[in-house]
Amino acid sequence: MPVYNYTTFDDPSATIGTFGNSINDTGQIVGHISDAVSSHGFLLSGGTFTTLDDPLATGGTFAEGINDAGQIVGWYGNNSGEHGFLLSGGTYTTLDDPLATTSTRAFGVNNIGQVVGQYSDNNGTHSFFYSGGTYTTIDDPSATQGTFAININASGQIVGGYFDASGAHGFLRTSNGTFITLDDPLATGGTVAEGINDAGQIVGFFQDASGKHGFLLSGGTYTTLDDPLATSGTVANGINDAGQIVGFYQNATGTGIHGFLLTITPNPSPPAGTTALMIMSNPSDGTYEIYNVGGNAILAAFQLGHVGAPWTFGALGTFQAGDSSDMLLRNSSTGAFQAYYISYNNIIGSANVGTVGLDWNFAGTGNFDGASSLSELLLRNAGSGSFELYHVVGGGILSGNAVAPIGNNFTVKGFGNFANSPTTQMMMQDNTHDASAGQLELYTYNPSIGFFSGQNVGVVGDNLNFIGCASLLGNGATQMIMQQNNGTFWLYTYNPSVNALSGIPVGAVGSNFHVVGFGPLGSAGQDECFARAGNGQLRRRRKRELEPDTACRYDAATVDHNTAARLRVVRPCQTRNRNRCKAA
């Protein structure tokens, strides 16, 4: 995973806690501390804490936001209520929304001096936007129990939170005034967005059964932030343009509140000798990890991020030019597809690439028409068995068209270049129990007519189970792997000149191992299979050069079986035919 460096900071005047609230691009941090008497704002600059107390305060001062010019906003309390303030050039200026009857709090200020915050009147809590001496009310239209704006960036994007009957939700108000609800997928007790930088990265916190957790929302991906010293919660409050994050954590109930500064550095690039990338997921919490594999060993492993329960793994492919491999997930409730763009061990972006009805199931990806360097998506109708081909280009599913009315008596077995052709082909098998049982058909897409055409390529007995498709011979063509009931593997190769498959036995493994993926695990140019035992041990198996009845086996690594429940292997290749870069 990216390297997370947490640094604790404590104001020496604090006796109860230090709260980090905001950080600017020069690294100056503001927040507040609590002592036995009251609360005081602070500025942390160059390692030195400076106490900030509004001269009108009798009930505490809270420094909430700072811009690159060093202007600070916050709020203070006195006998007349709560009031916002702007500290600029050493002078405190009170900020009171004219609609406020009991309270005004200023929370965020951007580099052009625009301020956001909240005020209260007889009808509840509202957000305000202050610019050029004018206050403008901004309320999230979904709010029924109050809106509070917390931060604003240079583009005028505003983040904060609102309440409705179901609880707390974060929001992003775009520069054109559109409100977007933000709910961390792991939240069960609410989400609040606290900070945003000029790149649009958002930080905040969410609540679940175990307490509060910080989050970073970047490129459409939520990443949980928990200070390793925290025992009772972490809250992320601010982020600058360098991606540095400030907040606070608690390590004892009711006491022990400390500020933190988090610096995140990206995952390193794959080390030398990497020939394959393996994506692993933990279905219990939606965490995804990437493993760099080469020379029969796992060379490095990093966390990519996590997604919520409605999103399930769909496929690996190339949905954005230049990436080493992209991951496609699907929302099991709506049918929406989300692409996560992966390059050099990091998710560099995410985009919704369209929604397709839930009666259409994912079948596979590949370069079926030969016209694009990006992967195409093949879906199949659950009722009729017919197929539709979708082109995923430029962050959106541009089109889908019917390509094959194949009945449900045939099931998809795999995809590859069985005929050593420049396009992806689909292998299917008859699943009936009549005279045609076990019949295999190879389907090739014909762009000129926009349809798949199939041909019978052989029959296998029902004592053989399909395992996968991969380029195990290293000749550029795809072979099909099947396993006999006694554990013996069979390698089937398609011969275009006679339009038939021929198979040879290539070894066996014990019943405690099952195949989880294929890829060039030992060296580039030739796929091997990864098998996994019940104890999490991974083994790499390679087909020797055309030698029947033999297979090589090497112990590669052991991975915790709880955190590596699903694997997909991809090859970091640059070939146009991207279907070779993913597991069958």
pLDDT at 360 over 80: yes
Q: Rounded to 5 degrees, what angle do the CA atoms 494, 530, 463 make?
A: 55
**C-alpha–C-alpha distance, residues 573 and 425, integer Å:** 19
Check whether 477 has a pLDDT greater than 70.
yes
Strands 513-519 and 500-508: unpaired
Write out the E strands in 79-139: 81-88, 91-95, 103-109, 115-121, 124-131, 134-138
Confidence of residue 3 (pLDDT cuts 50, 70, 90): confident
pLDDT of residue 530: 63
Compare 235 and 432 and report the one with higher pLDDT: 235
Mean pLDDT value across residues 164-191? 95
Give the pLDDT score at 35. Answer: 85
CA distance 521 to 298: 9
Q: Which one is predicted more confidently, 463 or 105?
A: 105
The two structure tokens encoding residue 184: 């961390």
Superfamily for domain range 276-581: TolB, C-terminal domain (2.120.10.30)
Partners of residue 315 on adjacent β-strands: 328
- Rounded to an integer, the average pLDDT of 35-56 is 95
Choice between 66 and 473, residue whose per-residue pLDDT is larger: 66
Tell me how far apart the alpha carbons of residues 55 and 406 are, in angstroms, rounded to a whole number.
78
pLDDT at residue 403 greater than cutoff 60? yes
Q: pLDDT at position 522, please?
A: 60
Q: What percent of the chain has pLDDT over 90?
A: 48
Domain ranges of the chain: 3-265, 276-581
Q: Measure the CA–CA gap between 436 and 530, rounded to whole angstroms.
A: 32
Q: Is the pLDDT reported for residue 69 higher than 60?
A: yes
Regarding predicted confidence, which is higher, 62 or 455? 62
> 3-265 and 276-581 share one CATH topology?
yes
pLDDT grade for 93, boundaries at 50, 70 and 90: very high
Per cent of the chain over pLDDT 70 is: 83
Written as one letter, the residue type at 374 is: L
CA proximity to 280, closest of 565, 558, 51, 483? 565
- Of the listed ranges 72-76, 372-376, 506-510, 574-578, the one predicted with least confidence: 574-578
CB–CB of 289/515 below 8 Å? no
CA distance 448 to 79: 80
- Dig out the tokens for 15 from the structure: 């006796």
Q: What is the mean pLDDT of residues 131-157?
A: 97
Most confident of the ranges 30-44, 368-382, 547-561: 30-44
Q: What are the tens digits of pLDDT across the range 263-275?
A: 998 888 899 988 8
Q: Provide the pLDDT for residue 544.
A: 41
| Terminal-to-terminal C-alpha distance of the chain | 26
Select, from the ranges 226-240, 282-296, 342-356, 539-553, the one with the highest average predicted confidence (pLDDT): 226-240
Distances (CA, A) of 472 to 426, 441, 567: 17, 21, 19
- Quick one: how far is CA 171 from the chain centroid? 19
Amino acid, res. 312: T
Residue 394 confidence (pLDDT): 55
Give the number of C-alpha atoms closer than 13 A to the C-alpha of residue 410, restricted to the C-beta side. Answer: 25
Q: What's the confidence (pLDDT) of residue 549?
A: 37
Instruction: Judge whether residue 144 has pLDDT over 90.
Output: yes
Amino acid at 437: A
* Contact assessment for residue 363 and residue 378, using Cβ atoms and an 8 Å cutoff: yes
Complete DSSP assignment for 244-306: -EEEEEEEETTEEEEEEEEEEEPPPPPPTT--EEEEEEETTTTEEEEEEEETTEEEEEEEEEE
Of residues 87 and 483, which shows the higher confidence score? 87
In which band, very low, low, confident or very high, does the pLDDT at 37 lie, cut at 50, 70 and 90? confident
CA 347 to the chain's CA centroid = 7
pLDDT in tens, 306-347: 676 678 888 888 877 776 678 888 888 888 888 888 888 888
Cα–Cα distance for residue pair 383/552, rounded to 1 Å: 42
* Per-chain mean pLDDT for the chain: 84
498: Cβ contacts below 8 Å, ≥ 6 apart? none
What secondary structure does DSSP assign to 437-492, as a single string? TTEEEEEEEETTTTEEEEEEEEE--TTEEEEEEE--SSSSS-EEEEEETTSEEEEE
**CATH architecture of structural domain 3-265:** 6 Propeller (2.120)
Select, from the ranges 134-143, 354-363, 472-481, the one with the highest average predicted confidence (pLDDT).
134-143
Q: What is the mean pLDDT of residues 377-390?
A: 91
Residue pLDDT, tens place only, 219-264: 888 889 999 999 999 999 999 999 999 999 998 755 689 999 999 9
- Cβ–Cβ < 8 Å for 231, 252: yes
More confident residue, 285 or 424: 424
Task: Give the model's pLDDT for residue 547.
Answer: 39
Per DSSP, the three-state class of 500 is: strand
